Structure formats: structure tokens, C-alpha cells
Amino acid sequence: MEIAELEQLVQLVRASNAGELTLRHEGARVTIRKSPAHSQDVEVETAPAEYEYTAEMTSMVDDSAADRETTMLVTAPLVGVFAHVKPLIGLNAHVAEGQVIGAIEAMKLITEIRSPANGTIVDMFIEASHPVEYGQALFEIRPD
């Protein structure tokens, strides 16, 4: 993705009511987020989901066709607000079947999100305190 394209996306977010825009392009993820304190300030995050902020686009985990075929999505079983659990589960973390990898709060009730298989977290689609909808993808796991 070229700088001119990124600048156009920043202008698009700045002019819209959207608070955040995340795109995937050629194995990289770009997030453009408005600062909550100043609606005119826009910050650009071009990093993998590990939140290492850099000035250039960084490559994510290889998205070859073989990887996509062997991964599974963990989706939200209900509508609510997502929360991380401790210890924090991040990219490339190894998880066991049945391990709690997140939680959703709905009407002051907590529902644990468990890993469906032993494997490695290859992508995270949600951040803490963000609302989730039924069936929304939360994690992508590559089974062992």
C-alpha cells in the first residue's frame, strides 16, 4: 500500500463518523483510528496485532492457502462486550482445548470463550471493551 493511499484513507476516516478503520492488504494489517479526545486527530497503526507501533507496514503471519485451510475461527456465542482474560492471550500463543481465551459480558453476566482445539493463535479480531455481535469472529486458531 502506497503512502498516497494511506493519506486518502486517513482523510476518509477524518471526514466520517467512523472511529476506526482496519484493512488487510497483501499480508499486512493497517488500522486508522481517531483519537477519542480530539475527533480531528487521526492515528495510523501499521503493525501486527501484537501492538508494536511502527512507521511502516509490517508483514503478518504468512497467509498461504494451506494456512487458511487448516485454521478455525472462534466466534462470539452471544452479543455483549469482549474482555481479555489473564494471562493475556496474544498472537502465536499456544492454547489448549477448553482453555479460556476471552470473555463476553452481557447484562452483568460473564460468558467464557474457550478454545475449541489445541493450537496456536494466528489472528485476533477484537480488542478489549469493544462490543461484539453474535457470530462475530474473535480469534483464528491453527490446530496442532
| Residue 108, CB-side half-sphere exposure with 13 Å CA sphere | 0
Q: Give the separation between CA 10 and CA 82, rounded to whole angstroms.
A: 27
pLDDT (tens digit, 0 to 9) for every residue of the chain, 144 residues total? 677 887 888 888 788 777 777 777 666 777 777 765 444 455 554 444 433 333 334 445 555 554 455 889 999 999 999 998 988 888 889 999 999 999 999 999 999 999 999 999 998 898 889 999 999 999 999 998
DSSP 58-72: -B-S---HHHHHT-E
DSSP 5-47: HHHHHHHHHHHSS-SEEEEEETTEEEEEEE-SS-TT-EEEE-S
pTM listed for this prediction: 0.54
